[in-house]
Every structure is written in C-alpha cells, then in structure tokens.
C-alpha cells in the first residue's frame, strides 16, 4: 500500500463522481468489506438477484447474513424492482443489486424502495465500470458501490477491487477493516479486520488504466454496435438492450436463444468452439446451484419462482467481447452462429 494506492483511489472516485474510494484486493473482498462497513451480520437478510455470479450469495453468507433471492427483468437481466418489496421483511438490511454485463439496474426505483423501507443499497458494479443512469455513474447511487479489477473486467489490475461511497463513515470504516483494523496506536485493535489490501504495483496499473478509461468504454461500445448491426434483423435471439436514460457499457455481449433458434445453448457453444470461437454460458441461477440444495438456515430460500433467471441461465451465452476483436472476427462469429440454427 504505497503512494499509488491513494492516487488510484482519487482517480477512480473521480470517475465514479463520489468523494470516497477504498482500494482492496478484489471484487469479492470489496463486497464483503462494504457489507461489514455497514455492519451487516448474523440475523440480517440481504436481497440479491437470483441471476448473478455466486459471489453475490457467498459474500452475504460470509458476513453471517442470509441472502434472499429476487428474479430479474427479461430485458436488462438485472434485478426486477417490481418484485423486491414482497421479499422485504423486518430483518432486511440491504438490497445488493448487480449491474449485469454492463447494463445498469433501475437505480431510481431501487433507491426509492430502499428509502421507503430504511434499508441500504449496495451496488455490485464489477461488470459495469462507467455505466450510468440519468448521467449518474453506477457506484454513486447506493450507500456503497463495489468494483472488481479482475483480468477480464473493463478496467483491470490483474486482481483488484474498490469500494466507493458518498458517505465518509462508510469509507473510513472500509479503510480500517481492510488493514486488520490497525489504528493510531499500533497493535491495539478494537474491531475484527481483514487483510484486503491492494498492492502499490496494482494501484499503479489501475491509475494508468483510469487515464485511458474513455477509450476502453468507447471500444466496448463499438464492438457492441457492430454485433447489433450484424444481428439486427435476426429474431431468433434476444440481444443486449439500452433502456432510455441508461448507458450500457457492454462488458460482455450476451445473447439469449429463443425456441425458434432450434438448437440448445450447450450444443451451440460446442459447435462454435469447434470453429475456434470461445463463448461462455450465462450464470447458473442461484436457486439451481447444487451447493444451496441442502437444508441450512442461511441458504437462500429456493421457494418462489425465478422463471426469468432460469430461462436466461438455460439459453444465454456471451459472444467473444475482447478489446482486440476485429470487424472480420465479429462477422465470422455471427456467420458461424447462424449456421448453428435448425
């Protein structure tokens, strides 16, 4: 934690238009740190989307709280605000929303619900650096915003993470807990902390990436626009959307195969792979994860239905979305994708 760490924190806070940022070791520790800084713990419930990376549930469990699942919207693939309120109980402490594949959640609706019920909003913006709602960056809407700088993220330090916040007390507590809760008087501790520090070397890389951040965002948009153009007239799958007043940063270009496509997603992925095209399946919804099938008081509730999450998990995949793709690469991907139809 040398001089580059605070410099990277300041630069990244500026990108997010927030006064405070605390760098940490990865996106997972950023989420855990944010929840610990808001004193979320045993006995509490945290609302998360059913369609997300397992990290959303795991970090809630790590605090001792219980994750509660809510289905997502079929268009943005983000948590559906219309379904949140029925899952709020007297134990609910926070809504942890995930900006999926680059599209922001409906932050106005989520903040309104949170205010009405006196619960926190934590944003997982690991896939959406630079996305905005009404020109306001993700990460700046909630009580805390969490970012990952893992190797495949829009901005990367190899491994790395950041908690951003408007609230000084949240950032101060995150900074304290990040470093074993060391205080002024060395080796006297009043809290249980962690080693979630970022190294100086990673921060130097992050700082340099902040400088060419607008280029990175532009490049992702270019790639998405080209796929959109190539796929425009095709109604056999859903493509990423960009809702009014939102900026999608298209971290990954996902498609969801419709029944009319005629072939199942795993087989399509296999055929593309044989043509030398690497893809990824969408997330397996949390309610279908083997790890949560047993009985445990803190495992997420599997009752209730998550039809959108299940349909996305079963039929979604993302196409090559790397910065180095050429227009020819993209045309080849789309041509091969079409040959998979039946």
Ligand X SMILES: *Cc1c(COP(=O)(O)O)cnc(C)c1O
Residues that bind ligand X (CB under 6 A): 26-28, 53, 55, 98, 124, 126-127, 148, 150, 161
Q: Which is nearer to ligand X, 55 or 231 (CB)?
A: 55
Indicate the Cα dihedral angle 180, 181, 183, 187, nearest 10°: -50
Please check whether residue 240 is in contact with residue 41, taking contact to mean a CB–CB distance below 8 angstroms.
Answer: no
Min CB(248)–ligand X separation in Å: 15
Min CB(240)–ligand X separation in Å: 15
Min CB(275)–ligand X separation in Å: 27
Place of tokens 């006196």: 118
Distance of CA 32 to the CA centre of its chain: 14
- Which CA distances in Å does 219 have to 37, 54, 222, 324? 35, 28, 5, 9
Q: Which is nearer to ligand X, 150 or 299 (CB)?
A: 150
Min CB(220)–ligand X separation in Å: 15
Min CB(98)–ligand X separation in Å: 5
Q: Where are the alpha helices (DSSP H) in 17-51?
A: 27-37
Min CB(286)–ligand X separation in Å: 12
Residue nearest to ligand X (CB): 27
Which residues, other chains included, contact 281 with Cβ-Cβ below 8 Å and sequence gap of 6+?
A: 265, 266, 269, 313, 316, 317
Is the backbone of residue 43 left (phi > 0), alpha (psi -120 to 50) or beta? Answer: left
Q: Which is nearer to ligand X, 98 or 231 (CB)?
A: 98
Q: Which is nearer to ligand X, 195 or 235 (CB)?
A: 195
Our separate counts of H helices and E strands in the chain read 10, 14
Please check whether residue 67 is in contact with residue 303, taking contact to mean a CB–CB distance below 8 angstroms.
Answer: no
* 237: β partners: 257
Place of tokens 């990436």: 209
Question: 281 phi and psi, to 5 degrees?
Answer: -70, 155
3-class SS at 332? Answer: helix
Min CB(74)–ligand X separation in Å: 19
Q: Which is nearer to ligand X, 138 or 231 (CB)?
A: 138
Q: Which is nearer to ligand X, 28 or 330 (CB)?
A: 28
Q: Which is nearer to ligand X, 174 or 340 (CB)?
A: 174
Place of tokens 């399946």: 281
Name the nearest CA neighbour of 109 among 155, 151, 76.
76
Q: Which is nearer to ligand X, 196 or 261 (CB)?
A: 196
Min CB(124)–ligand X separation in Å: 5
């Amino acid at each position: 934690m040398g001089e580059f760490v605070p410099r990277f924190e300041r630069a990244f806070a500026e990108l997010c238009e927030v006064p405070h940022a605390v760098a940490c070791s990865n996106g997972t520790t950023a989420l855990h740190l944010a929840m610990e800084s808001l004193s979320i713990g045993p006995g509490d419930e945290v609302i998360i989307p059913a369609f997300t990376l397992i990290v959303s549930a795991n970090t809630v469990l790590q605090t001792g709280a219980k994750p509660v699942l809510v289905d997502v919207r079929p268009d943005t693939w983000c948590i559906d605000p219309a379904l949140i309120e029925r899952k709020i109980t007297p134990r609910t402490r926070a809504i942890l929303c995930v900006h999926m594949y680059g599209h922001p959640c409906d932050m106005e609706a989520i903040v309104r619900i949170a205010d009405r019920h006196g619960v926190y909003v934590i944003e997982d913006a690991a896939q959406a650096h630079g996305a905005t709602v009404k020109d306001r960056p993700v990460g700046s809407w909630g009580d805390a915003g969490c970012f990952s700088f893992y190797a495949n993220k829009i901005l990367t330090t190899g491994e790395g993470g950041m908690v951003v916040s408007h609230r000084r007390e949240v950032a101060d507590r995150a900074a304290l807990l990040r470093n074993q809760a060391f205080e002024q008087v060395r080796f006297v501790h009043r809290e249980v902390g962690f080693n979630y520090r970022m190294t100086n070397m990673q921060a130097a890389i992050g700082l340099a990436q902040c400088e060419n951040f607008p280029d990175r965002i532009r490049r992702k948009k270019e790639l998405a626009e080209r796929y959109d153009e190539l796929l425009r007239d095709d109604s056999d799958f859903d493509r990423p959307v960009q809702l009014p007043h939102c900026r999608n940063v298209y971290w990954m270009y996902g498609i969801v195969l419709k029944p009319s496509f005629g072939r199942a997603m795993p087989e399509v992925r296999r055929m593309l792979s044989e043509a030398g095209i690497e893809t990824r399946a969408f997330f397996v919804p949390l309610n279908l994860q083997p790890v949560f099938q047993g009985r445990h008081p803190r495992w997420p509730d599997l009752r209730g239905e998550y039809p959108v999450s299940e349909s996305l998990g079963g039929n979604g995949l993302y196409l090559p979305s790397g910065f180095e793709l050429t227009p020819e690469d993209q045309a080849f991907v789309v041509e091969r994708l079409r040959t998979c139809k039946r």
